[in-house]
Amino acid sequence: MYLNRLKNFFLREVRKFSPNNQWYSKGLPVQIDNKRKRELLARGFYPSTSLFYDFEKYGYELYLNERDYKKMYPLNKPSVSFLIDNKAYLPVLFKAKPHWLPTFYANFQYGQLLFHQGITDPNQTMAEILKKALVEFGSLIVKPTADGGGRKIIKLNSINFEEQIDQIMSRDVVIACTLQNEEFLKEISPLSLNTMRVMFFKTKNKKNKILMVGQRFGTQKSNLVDNIASGGFGFTVNLKTGKFSSPYSFTIPFRKEDFRYHPDSGMNLENFQYPDWQIRLNQIQEIVDFLDFVEYGGLDLAFTPDGIKVVEINSHPESIFFQLDQPAFLDAEFREFISSKQKHN
């Protein structure tokens, strides 16, 4: 089973650098002057970055461009990237801090229980474990261990259990109790778990530093998830004040004014500010510090009535979201970090 995971991991890496998967192939399809498009591509940027980056104010050199960023993968040691990108290992990574994970969290590979927390009798069958969890926690969220972007997610409940169980048993999945947001986030978008993206990196002083924080919201279009690629949207968050700043969406045409209100709930987002922001920021920093073996990553967190929860970790998240407010290289320590990685590639 572990050999299969390693095989799948390396196959994904090979596909990333195949001729059919050019670095610019995943950019948004925007209408832009051909001359301008060629200029951006020559500089290593998606043409769609012209919607989000202020090149006129900052120029090009202060932004981390997509071409160079993709070439630098992995920014962590390969073994670390493999470990944190696979959701199956979260119970192992956070064994000393179980309260940072959902109360029920289990990895099943083809019906066999591997890593878990919150299961009192691991000798039971998968079906028995899940039926008991449904009684205790209500609906469960089923995710593939290594796929991202909100794809292939199932909400399992007592009604669809018999219909879904065979399919789930044929996959490598993580299954967790359904998390709910704190009320101040839930009232904005009650259909999805609305997560926070935290970008961090290791400085030369071996300290994990937060580079950027962003909040994401689901919509009716994105259904169960808040992933921007699936139809959700997000805002960058001012680290000092906890106020929303720049919006981000894959909606084309993109207009900032379209995100003053949540499209479904109608909640005003223009002047949103987190309650007790400094306390929350300290909680985030505590988790970032705990991951001292990680040099770079994107951490997805959820504020719930039971405290802050880790949803997943990404070793190489996309680069536009964390540069919406300003270019990444305005942070001298981050520029030094990237420079040190470029020398080794």
Q: Tell me, what CATH number does 172's domain have?
A: 3.30.1490
Please state the φ and ψ torsions of residue 107, each to the nearest 5 degrees: -105, 120
Distance CA 244, CA 221 (A): 22
* CB atoms near residue 81 (< 10 Å): 23
Q: Which domain holds residue 336?
A: 1-102+179-345
Q: How confident is the model at residue 24 (pLDDT cuts 50, 70, 90)?
A: confident
* CB atoms near residue 342 (< 10 Å): 11
Residue 13 has pLDDT above 60, yes or no: no
- The answer to whether 170 touches 152, Cβ cutoff 8 Å, is no
Q: How confident is the model at residue 19 (pLDDT cuts 50, 70, 90)?
A: very low
Whichever domain contains 304, its CATH number is 3.30.470.20
Give strand pairing partners of 107. Answer: 174
DSSP H/E element including 4: helix 2-16
Among the three residues 177, 198, 230, which one is the final residue of a domain in this structure? 177
pLDDT tens digits for 25-38?
Answer: 778 888 889 999 99
Residues 128, 25, single domain; the answer is no
Q: How confident is the model at residue 17 (pLDDT cuts 50, 70, 90)?
A: very low
Mean pLDDT of the region 235-243: 98
Among the three residues 177, 200, 220, which one is the final residue of a domain in this structure? 177
Q: Token pair of 177, please?
A: 């109790």
* Beta-strand pair 208-217/140-144: unpaired
Mean residue pLDDT across the chain: 93
Distance CA 140, CA 99 (A): 18
pLDDT tens digits for 63-102?
Answer: 999 999 999 999 999 999 999 999 999 999 999 999 999 9
- The answer to whether 232 touches 300, Cβ cutoff 8 Å, is no
Residue 127 has pLDDT above 60, yes or no: yes
Among the three residues 120, 148, 177, which one is the final residue of a domain in this structure? 177
Residues 6 or more apart whose Cβ sits within 8 Å of residue 178: 137, 138, 139, 140, 141, 155, 193
pLDDT tens digits for 289-305?
Answer: 999 999 999 999 999 99
Residues 170, 201, single domain; the answer is no
Residues 134, 231, single domain; the answer is no
Distance CA 76, CA 94 (A): 19
Distance CA 322, CA 334 (A): 12
Residues 6 or more apart whose Cβ sits within 8 Å of residue 16: 70, 73
pLDDT tens digits for 29-63?
Answer: 888 899 999 999 999 999 999 999 999 999 999 99
Residue 257 has pLDDT above 60, yes or no: yes
Q: Which of the residue ranges 123-127, 226-230, 263-267, 282-286 would you say has the lowest mean pLDDT?
A: 226-230
Residue 242 has pLDDT above 70, yes or no: yes
Closest CA to 134 of 175, 187, 82: 175
Residues 251, 191, single domain; the answer is yes
Residue 144 has pLDDT above 60, yes or no: yes
Residues 87, 196, single domain; the answer is yes
Number of structural domains found in the chain: 2
